[in-house]
Every structure is written in structure tokens, then in C-alpha cells.
Amino acid sequence: MSGGEVAGILVAVFWAILVSFIALVLVRLAQTLKAATRLVAEVSEQAVPLLAEASATVRSANTQLARVDSIAADVQEVTANASALSSTVSTAFGGPLVKVAAFGYGVRRAMGRKAEPARGSGTVVVGRTAGQDLPSARRGSRRTRKKG
């Protein structure tokens, strides 16, 4: 065998190993592609029902939000009506009630002063010198505070 034949055999062996390696890589790549295809098919089968359920859930949530929106509008209307009623009642009864309370207070003060004895009526108190005033009498009873 000559050197050219040995070189040809080496190149042929090298090409055979290279082709075998490429064939092995292609087989593995084909298996990976089959697995990826199966995975995509399974995901598609599961995704379609999930999307249908999500769509139904969104529709239901939209319906509930519409109901809540109408309830919120009703509550806002009731709040406005209550505010208007409160201001009307305050305007209608507030002034007269204040006047009645002031009148009652004035009457009580007038009645209280009428019942008080006049100072300097000639009452003599033992132990006091002339010109000293008596302490004023307390009106009403003393209230005690309860603890707790």
C-alpha cells in the first residue's frame, strides 16, 4: 500500500465517523422535535378549555361589575337625598329650636333671680363686721361623680 492509499483510507474512515456522528445528531434532533410537537399539542388541548373558562369568568365578572355600578349609583343618590334632607331639617327646625331654647333659658334665669332674696335687707349675722357680705347661696344640689 502506498501513502496515497493509506491517506484515502484515513479520509474514508474520517468521513464515515463524521457521517455517523451527523446521523446520530439528526436522530436526536428528530426525537426532540417529536417531543416538542407532542408538548405543543397537549398545551393546545389544555389551553382551549382554559381560555373558554377564562372568557366565561370575565363575562360573569363584567355582569357583577355592572350590578355593583348600579348599586353604587343608587347609594350615591340616597346619600345626596339624605344630605338634602339633613340641610332642610336643619334649616326648618334649627332656628326655631335655638329660639325656644334661648327663651327657656331666659325664663329659668328670670325665675331664679326672682326667688333670690335682695342683698342688704337688714339681716344681722353674728360674728361679722359691718360691710362684709355673706357668701352667695348655691343654687341646686351638689352632684357627686361616680367612678367607673
Contacts of 116 (CB under 8 A, 6+ apart): 137
C-alpha cell at position 22: 451527523
| 67-88 per-residue burial string, b: 16 or more CB within 10 A, e: under 16 | eeeeeeeeeeeeeeeeeeeeee
Q: Is the pLDDT of residue 106 over 80?
A: yes
Measure Cα distances from 4 to 8, 15, 53, 145 in Å. Answer: 6, 16, 73, 126
Residues 113-119 have a mean pLDDT of 64
**Is the pLDDT confidence value at 86 over 70?**
yes
pLDDT the model gives residue 135: 58
In the chain, the percentage of residues whose pLDDT exceeds 70 is: 77
In the DSSP assignment, the letter for residue 127 is T
Selected residue with higher pLDDT from 143 and 12: 12
Q: Answer yes or no: is pLDDT of 64 > 80.
A: yes
Confidence of residue 142 (pLDDT cuts 50, 70, 90): low
Q: How confident is the model at residue 72 (pLDDT cuts 50, 70, 90)?
A: very high
